[in-house]
Amino acid sequence: MLQPDPIRIAIIGLGSRGRFLGEAIQGDSRYRLTALIDTDPDNLRGGRDYLHSSAALYTSLPQALREGDFEAVAVATPDFTHEAVAVACFDAGRHVLCEKPLEITAKGCENILAAWRASGRILLIGFVLRYVRKLRKMHDLIASGEIGRPVMAYANHEVPEGSRWYFHDWHALRRCSTGLLLQKGSHDIDILNWFMNATPVRVAASGGLNVMGGSESDNLTCGRCARSGNCPDCTTHIDHFPDLSKPIACVHRRSVDVEDNHLVIIEYDNGTRASYSECHFSSYPRRSFCVIGDQGRIETADDNKIHLTRRFPADRAVYDCLPAEGGHDGGDRLMLDDFFRAVTENAPTLADGSAGRISVLTAIAAHRSMREHRMVEIEEIEAEIEHVDNLQSAAV
């Protein structure tokens, strides 16, 4: 059988994620990395050097879309830019692998999905966890009825590297990320939605900024204060910090306004429920998922194993799922497989736009719930999209 030509792809955003994605793309012979795009010339050159790439370089996305030789893009720019970047790419006829979260506002999600539908191109959301073998296996066991009807679930992520990835830059500002339940938790919320095979309808949450944040100056940079020798979050103690060549902001600066620990309860449209907790200063790395059905229970935590138990007749099974090679327990490589298949066969993706949208809406509702101390309906967030639409059409 004739092999399809490699997909000519550009990476937009050469920060930490763009560079890791670039490595995965370069390691896959079905892709040819033909362009690198970043509005910051230093990051663009840094990304090129990191990847030892001879791809064309652009600091202007419009110029790259006019002149560049690529049919697909991987969007790895900050969350608050996804709408402008993804819509421009769809309008220019490119397939889009868009990093999670889809956007930081509900309206931004709608606009991306509208541009995607109008373009007839492929959209894949960077929900790498869906591609991790053990989570895929766990999903398939639930979907095949092994625990009966899923009724409740809980998930937890203790992020010991929370301060490394989330509190030194734009991630820690509500205006750029909305909050970390959306920024990071959209992954875990998506997995819960996928496992439960149901749509969230309301959310209750509690959260706070209890360890990060503080009263330091916004100009204070890491490693330059008297406390840095004893500070667990000082980047000079952290191996492989993304880019130490630039000054890095202190996690205790005044402007930090996202929460660093959260507890969330989600109710689904079929009367079932799930909970999720996320902590950004734990000393122990832990990510776990458990689903309990009317006939059994399934769980995975710190290793490659899935534990399945059944109520009647009592029974138990353990599945060992070795990860594929590459980043995110092999998820990056398997995600690129799915994107390749979708583009070459014009097929749906495992992580599609509707999954991206509902995880954003759920996380927005959770942030609102914890900040306003009330349960929030997803309908409330959706109604606001219509309200913005009505205001816009009234203004025309």
CB of 244 to ligand NAD, least distance (A): 13
Which of 210, 209, 204, 236 is CA-nearest to residue 223? 236
> 77 or 119, CB closer to ligand NAD?
77
* C-alpha dist (Å) from residue 237 to 163, 230, 234, 241, 244: 11, 9, 6, 9, 12
Pick the closer one to ligand NAD by CB: 169 or 299. Answer: 169
The residue range among 74-82, 152-160, 283-291, 365-373 that interacts with ligand NAD, by the rule CB under 6 A, is 74-82
* Number of other CB atoms surrounding residue 278 within 10 Å: 26
Member of 77, 119, 163, 369 binding ligand NAD (CB under 6 A): 77
Q: Give the x/- contact pattern for ligand NAD in 11-40, rule: CB under 6 A.
A: -xxxxxxx------------------xxxx
Among residues 128, 153, 155, 212, which is the contact residue for ligand NAD, using CB under 6 A? 128
Which CB sits closer to ligand NAD, 268 or 340?
A: 340
Q: In sequence order, which residues have a C-beta less than 8 Å from that of residue 41 and are 6 or more positions away?
A: 59
- By beta carbon distance, the residue nearest ligand NAD is 15
Considering beta carbons, is residue 272 or 349 the nearer one to ligand NAD? 349
Instruction: Give the single-character DSSP code of 131.
Output: G
- Of 159, 148, 167, which Cα lies nearest the Cα of 188? 159
User: What's phi and psi for 40, nearest 5 deg?
Assistant: -100, 110
Minimum Å distance from CB 202 to ligand NAD?
Answer: 25
Tell me the three state secondary structure of residue 279. Answer: strand
Contacts (CB under 6 A) with ligand NAD, residues 147-186: 169
Which among 6-14, 28-36, 340-348, 362-370 is the span making contact with ligand NAD, rule CB under 6 A?
6-14
Stretch that binds ligand NAD, among 7-15, 250-258, 294-302, 368-376 (CB under 6 A): 7-15
Q: How many chain residues bind ligand NAD (CB under 6 A)?
A: 25
Q: 340: which 2 tokens?
A: 């390749």
Work out how close the CB of 127 gets to ligand NAD at its nearest, in angstroms, rounded to a whole number: 7
Could you say which residues in the range 316-375 bind ligand NAD, by CB under 6 A? 328
Closer of 164 and 368 to ligand NAD (Cβ): 164
| 121, 93 Cβ separation under 8 angstroms | yes
Tokens of 354: 């509707």
Residue type, 301: A
Q: How far is the CB of 359 from ligand NAD (least distance, A)?
A: 12
Q: Does 202 bind ligand NAD (CB under 6 A)?
A: no
Residue 358: what are its φ and ψ, rounded to 5°? Answer: -70, -30
| Least distance in angstroms from the C-beta of 315 to ligand NAD | 35
Residue 97 CA to chain centroid, in angstroms?
12
Residue 37 or 358: the one with the smaller Cβ distance to ligand NAD is 37
Q: For residue 300, which of 162, 165, 193, 191 has the smallest C-alpha distance?
A: 191
Residue from 61, 109, 204, 234 that binds ligand NAD (CB under 6 A)? 61
Which of these, 248, 162, 165, 149, lies nearest to 209 by C-alpha position? 162
Give the residue among 365, 380, 359, 367 at the shortest CA–CA distance from 206: 367
Name 58's bridge partners: 37
> Can you state the angle between helices 16-26 and 331-345, rounded to 10 degrees?
70
- Using CB under 6 A, which of 24, 28, 30, 43 touches ligand NAD? 43
Q: Which residues bind ligand NAD (CB under 6 A)?
A: 12-18, 37-40, 43, 61, 76-79, 81, 85, 99-100, 126, 128, 169, 328
